[in-house]
Chains A and B, each alone.
Chain A
Amino acid sequence: EAGVAQSPRYKIIEKRQSVAFWCNPISGHATLYWYQQILGQGPKLLIQFQNNGVVDDSQLPKDRFSAERLKGVDSTLKIQPAKLEDSAVYLCASSSPTGGATYEQYFGPGTRLTVT
């Protein structure tokens, strides 16, 4: 079974520019997550989708970050405009709808963003 796909793997941009990341979850996984992992820290949830609806986006900086999951499959995370503190690895994960909080989340390889 194919894993979670993410692109690009690396991105370097200047502050105030915009950037977009793409994620394709495991086939059949209804729940999709975006995490931000700053160097030296654990991943922090930005947004969770169930199919194409948002379950939780309480930690998403909505003044500059946006995410969508049209058709309940692929998802895109956008940052506009980027700040230096947005430099991090952005991880996408997906999970199966069967189960409760015991869902195992499957992670993609991540996109490493450097803002200069």
Chain B
Amino acid sequence: AQSVTQLGSHVSVSEGALVLLRCNYSSSVPPYLFWYVQYPNQGLQLLLKYTTGATLVKGINGFEAEFKKSETSFHLTKPSAHMSDAAEYFCAVNEGLLIFGKGTTLSVSS
């Protein structure tokens, strides 16, 4: 059965610092992988997705993620954090149904 593990329920960074949010998945077939962001009292917004092809995927707001099959990972990064990046981030895998991780709350301090 597919599953998603997000390491660290809460990540804190300073403005301008590197953002790294970790995601590992289990899947019996090549997965489709997603990162969503959720701002307070809002629905989920797609940041980026991996389906096939290039393993480094670029998304909105300067985020990117790299699919590493050997490590079963799909970590999310952003070179320089901004205050507006503070939100909850969810990694998800899709094998017909979308399965979400428990989420990581990102805090950004000035």
A95 to B94, CA, bound (A): 13
Contact B94 A101 (CB under 8 A): yes
Given contacts A45-B98, A48-B97, A101-B32, contact A91 B51 (CB under 8 A): no
A56 to B36, CA, bound (A): 22
CB distance from A88 to the nearest CB of B (A): 14
A33 to B44, CA, bound (A): 13
Given contacts A48-B97, A104-B49, contact A109 B43 (CB under 8 A): yes
Question: A104: nearest residue on chain B (CB-CB)?
Answer: B46
Given contacts A101-B32, A101-B95, A104-B49, contact A43 B42 (CB under 8 A): no
Tally of contact residues, A, Cβ under 8 A: 22
Interface status of A17 (Cβ within 8 A of chain B): no
Given contacts A42-B103, A43-B100, A102-B51, contact A4 B43 (CB under 8 A): yes
Given contacts A91-B44, A101-B32, A109-B43, contact A44 B100 (CB under 8 A): yes
Contact partners of B32 in chain A: CB under 8 A: 101-102
Q: 12 A-B pairs, CB-CB below 8 angstroms?
A: A4-B43, A41-B103, A42-B90, A45-B98, A56-B97, A101-B94, A101-B95, A102-B51, A107-B43, A108-B43, A109-B41, A110-B41
Contact partners of A108 in chain B: CB under 8 A: 43
Question: Which parts of B95-110 form the interface with A (CB within 8 Å)?
Answer: 95-98, 100-103
Known: A42-B102, A107-B43, A110-B42. 17 other contacts (CB 8 A): A41-B102, A41-B103, A42-B90, A42-B100, A43-B44, A45-B97, A45-B98, A56-B97, A91-B44, A101-B32, A102-B49, A102-B94, A105-B46, A107-B44, A109-B41, A110-B43, A112-B41
Question: Which parts of A53-89 form the interface with B (CB within 8 Å)?
Answer: 56
A20 to B96, CA, bound (A): 27
Tell which of B36, B92, B95, B98 has the most Cβ of chain A within 10 Å. B98
Contact A40 B97 (CB under 8 A): no
